[in-house]
Structure 1
Amino acid sequence: MKVTLEKLPASQIGFDIQVEGTKSQAIYDRIVKDLTRTMQVPGFRKGKAPQQLVLRQVGSQRLKANVLEELLEKTLNEALSENKEVKEKALGGFQLITDIETLVQTFTPGQELSFKAAIDVEPEVSLAKYQGFTVKAEEIKPDLTEVDRTLREFQVRKSTLVPIEDRPVEADDVVTVDLKVLDRATGEELPEAGEDDFQLDVDEKAFIPEVVQAIIGAAIDQVIEVESVFPQDYYPEEYVGKEIKYVITIKSIKGRELPPLDDEFAQSISDKETIAELRELLEKRVTDEAESKTKANKERAVLEALTAELEVELPVTLIQQELDFLVRQQASYLQDRIDPAMAKQLFTKELVEEMRRLNQPEAVNRIRRKVALDEIAKQENLTVDEAALNERVANTLAELKDPNIDPARLKSLIREEILTETSVEWLIEHSEIELVEQGSLTPPAETLEAIAPEDDSDVVTVDATSEEA
């Protein structure tokens, strides 16, 4: 067997292989012998039919295809084993370059066979520069007014509704209305879009803002009309974009009696004993979140500078693996939050393909950052502290409580994770970062944004491990 290697684009190694006829003849003879011994031919006992009848029943093309399939597999494995440097860097399996249909048509057992295949290998990385960057990053300062807004939201959740008859509608009231929707062009009512005795929170986040604005100040039995366009994300979908008129009749008003912000209130929504302790907790959360966002901005800035200096051809295998990870991650997030039957209907082949398409740029960016950081670790001989590694592995296993997890595989993944974190820290330490005012830099476009779930719980909890998780 003769093997010629060729460096190809996209971090591939090409194999040009010539196989002597004796290899295919040996495989052919063995397969024919096995078929003759095991195949049932009408009119003959098993294993007693003449070879020609067996071959006629199998068919020459099918037999050739079977021989060729085994020959290719064995040959490629041998070629890879003989080239250890390629084998050590190989990613995934071989891709046949020579057209398989052509091979089947032209292949004759016992005659020399030539074909080409390629395999992805770890990419060669070139970093023109990996330290001493001068960048700008937005500093996110804590907005402590968020504490008051949070407490107010919990007060609203814990409030008591009291009927109101002596004043008009105010923000945060709960009103009962008859809501009618008319087609402005024809004046006809769209009954499916309206509802009688509809209970509405007077909050622009809870319902159509222009309707909420219009009913503030209205009295019981008053009728308000609002011209608008049927909004997105409302039912029925066929009315979206239609010019309409809302006709709202105020039937009743209920105000909210808010509980006082005292120690009893703090105990009812958290594990804190006093309102002062609860405020301190919420202030710390706001401060920690601001610091976390600032840190993320600093990391993003230096990583953008780093990857701008990167030259690398990414193999398709790495990109596909990263796409698999991102799609699985997003699918898992959604499946945990919707009905299983709905999830089964939702995740069609078309949707998954669209998710892969949308995630392609992010997958490429993630891999570029990873290979650049790996190169820093390699150049600077960065290592992982074994004690910290073992502690994180133990904590992760305790959290997951999954007996099917391979501890060795998990340890390997966490080792890579810690090494990446160490490389980022090294990069930040060896760069000059100017913190600038929030909003002064144009944020980078994101292909997909993670949507954090809203917490509808009435309890404020404290999780010391949430940052690490």
Structure 2
Amino acid sequence: MKSAVETLNPTRVRLTVEVPFEELKPSLDAAYKKINQQVTVPGFRKGKIPARVIDQRFGRGAVLEEAINDALPKFYTEAVNEGELNPLGQPDVDITELKDGEELKFTAEVDIRPAIEIPDYSGIEVTVDAIEVDDEEVEKSLEQLRERFASTTPVERAAADGDVVVVDLEASVDGTVLEDGVAQGVSYTIGSGQLLDGIDEAVTGLEKGGSATFTSELKGGSAAGQEASVKVEVSDVQERELPALDDEFAQLASEFDTLDELRADSRKRLERMKSYDQATQAQEKVLDALIELIEVPIPEKLLKDEIETRTHNLEHHQFPQLGLTWDSYLEREGKTREEHDAEVEAQSVKGIKTQFILDELVTKEKLSVSQEELTEHLMRRAATSGMTPDQFAQAVVEGGQVPMLVGEVARGKALAVVVETAKVTDTNGEVVDLEDEEDDEDDEDGETVEAASDAAEAASEDAAAGDKPAES
């Protein structure tokens, strides 16, 4: 077999392959054997039909077609290896010449990973938010804790904002009660916004035993996205009572003896959260700066496929779950379809660039992934998927997704290498030392890369979307 590579552009090549006919013999033999098992010819036992009879009865062309379909992937792979190429996706194959008994010629056009030069990135400088926790944030945190320990007491009065009402609901569309539109004994805090639009206005002012009807767009179920008439009946009205903010509450809600100790712990917890956010912000800004330094050609077909995948996931997976249509989604986002499409394209371009660059860094820095690092990453991904680690691991292995997870961890480590060399200052002008954060958060780098490259919004379903575009 002989092959040649023609560069069509920085991200696409054409392979020209010439195969002597004798190299097709194993595939021809396999083709005759396969056809032998599929057909019946009077006078011959099944599987014992001579090749000349098969040619006469079914045509030599059918045998050649079967043989070529079997052989092409092998010859294509040999040509790719010979040319030392890194293909992306499936090739467009065209058989240019087939002379029975003499030669097979074909071409294969395929996208490839572009050659990327990683420049000196040690001069990257970024600014992140300073870690500042004010008294108002601490008090808000304590109020949220009080809310968790609130108690309720039944009252004989009209329901008001902040009260808990126990309601029965019945949703109808075009006068027909929906089978999945009936619910009883639902507890709802007025003003929480956690149920149907319009219910707050409907139940406010109702006493126990009262009822009302309102119109609302259903967010899920069989009639998701449709306007429904909802009848609500109040079976109980309960007043919420918050515990006093004192030492007794501190002992009830925590391991601390005094409110001052609880307040100090709340401040530390908020500082830790902001410290983590600061580290994540630094990683994302460093990644943005790195992308700006490097020219990365984008394969057109790869970009087109990625845009189509993101749009398909949004339209066929997220819209049904949220009860949205394109019109309602765009209205909610305050965008036109053209603006949305432009954003998706920009996100896709950034995602592809991110993966190409970080993969090149993995090679340049000779980074590897240990079993422990992979296991820790798998545990975290399992937690976000709602599956147990064993279930998630089984799904990953069965789906052949282990290389994808290894890639996520490796790219996270590559980004960490760049972050270590960057100068990070906060908005107060103070130099930020991320070393301690990286010790704790390095394992989050895979997710940081995914977030920075704007993976498919359904991360709980496909947290590796950012990994998907450049897989071969």
Query: After TM superposition, is the score higher than 0.5?
Result: yes
2:420 paired residue number? 425
Instruction: Spell out, residue by residue over 1:299-355, the C-alpha distance to the aligned partner (whole angstroms, 9 max, x if none).
Output: 33343333233222245898799999999x99xx99xx9xxxxxxxxxxxxxxxxxx
Where does residue 259 of structure 1 map in the other structure?
243
Work out whether residues 111 and 301 of structure 2, in 8 Å CA contact, stay in contact via their aligned partners in 1: yes
1:372 paired to 2:368: no
Distance 1:63 1:268, change over 3 A: farther
Measured in 2, the distance between the counterparts of 1:36 and 1:235 equals 50
Equivalent residues, number: 396
- Cα distance change on mapping 1:159 and 1:425 into 2, 3 Å: same
What residue is the counterpart of 1:174 in the other structure?
A: 164
1:371 partner letter: F
Could you say if the C-alpha distance between residues 265 and 124 of structure 1 is closer, same or farther in structure 2, counting changes exceeding 3 Å? same
Asked if 2 retains the 8 angstrom alpha-carbon contact of 1:173 and 1:253, the reply is yes
Classify the secondary structure of the residue corresponding to 1:16: strand
- Shift of the 17–133 alpha-carbon distance from structure 1 to 2, 3 Å rule, reads same
CA shift for structure 1 position 9: 3.0
Equivalence for 1:114: 105
Q: Which residues in structure 2 correspond to 1:217-256 (within 5 Å)?
A: 218=205, 220=207, 230-231=216-217, 233=219, 237=223, 240=226, 253-256=237-240
Aligned-partner Cα distance in 1 for 2:202–2:269: 36
1 CA distance for matches of 2:136 and 2:11?
52
Flag structure 1 segments of 5+ consecutive residues without an equivalent: 338-356, 437-443, 453-469
The one-letter code of the counterpart of 1:291 is S
Which residue of the partner structure matches residue 154 of structure 2?
A: 163
Report the RMSD for the aligned CA atoms in angstroms. Answer: 5.7
Corresponding position of 2:191: 203
What is the one-letter code of the residue matched to 1:114?
Answer: K
Deviations 1:360-395 (A, max 9, x none): 7545423312433455677xx7576x9x96864675
Deviations 1:169-201 (A, max 9, x none): 543222467999999xxxx99987999997642
Cα distance in 1, alignment partners of residues 20 and 358 from structure 2: 45
For 1:7 and 1:73, the matched residues in 2 are separated by 21
Pairing 1:305-454 to 2, within 5 Å after superposition: 305-315=289-299, 362-373=347-358, 382=365, 392=373, 402=390, 414-426=409-421, 428-429=422-423, 449=457
User: For 2:169 and 2:378, how far apart are their aligned partners in 1?
Assistant: 53
Q: 1:131 to 1:325 in 2, by over 3 A?
A: farther
Question: Counterparts of 1:195 and 1:73 in 2: how far apart (Å)?
Answer: 57
How far is 1:110 from its partner? 1.1
- Secondary structure of 1:233 counterpart: coil
1:232: Cα distance to partner?
Answer: 5.5
Residue 422 of structure 1 and its aligned partner are, at CA, apart by: 1.5
Q: 1 or 2 for the larger relative contact order (CA 8 Å, sep ≥6)?
A: 1
1:313 aligned partner, one-letter code: P
* 1:147 to 1:172, Cα distance in 2 relative to 1, 3 A: farther
What letter corresponds to residue 278 of structure 2 in structure 1?
T
| CA 267–92 in structure 1, closer or farther in 2 if over 3 Å, else same | farther
Contact 2:217 2:227 in 1 (8 A): yes
Letter in structure 2 aligned against 1:155:
R
Matching residue of 2:288: 304
d(CA) in 2 for partners of 1:397, 1:450: 18
Equivalent position amino acid for 1:421 in 2:
A
The CA deviation string for residues 86-110 of structure 1, in whole angstroms up to 9 with x for no partner, is 33x4246762431x5xx6xx63421
Q: Give the match's secondary structure for 1:311.
A: coil
Alpha-carbon spacing, 1:275–1:366, altered in 2? closer, same or farther (3 Å): farther
TM-score normalised by structure 2 residue count: 0.60
Provide the TM-score with structure 1 as the length reference. 0.60
| 1:63 aligned residue | 63
In structure 2, relative to structure 1, the CA distance for the partners of 1:411 and 1:234 (3 Å cut) is closer
Partner residue, 1:97: 93
- Residue 261 of structure 1: how far off its partner (Å): 4.3
Flag the 1:266–1:323 CA change in 2: closer, same or farther, 3 A: farther
Aligned residues of 2:21 and 2:104 also touching (Cα < 8 A) = yes
- Which sits farther off after the overlay, 188-197 or 146-155? 188-197
SS at structure 2 position matched to 1:230: strand
| Aligned partner of residue 412 in structure 2, secondary structure | helix
Give the superposition deviation at 1:40: 6.0
- Residues 423-462 of structure 1 show CA distances to partners (whole Å, capped at 9, x for unaligned) of 2332x32x777579xxxxxxx996855689xxxxxxxxxx
Residue 196 to residue 414, structure 1, CA distance change in 2 (3 Å): closer
The 1:282/1:58 distance shift into structure 2, 3 A limit, reads farther
Cα deviation for residue 292 of structure 1 reads 2.7
Amino acid at match of 1:372: I
- Secondary structure at 1:172 match in 2: coil
> SS of the counterpart of 1:107?
strand
Q: 5+ residue gaps in structure 2?
A: 322-341, 383-388, 430-451, 461-472
Q: Give, in whole Å, the separation in 2 of the partners of 1:241 and 1:32.
A: 59
Note closer, same or farther for the CA distance 1:288–1:52 as it changes in structure 2 (3 Å cut).
same
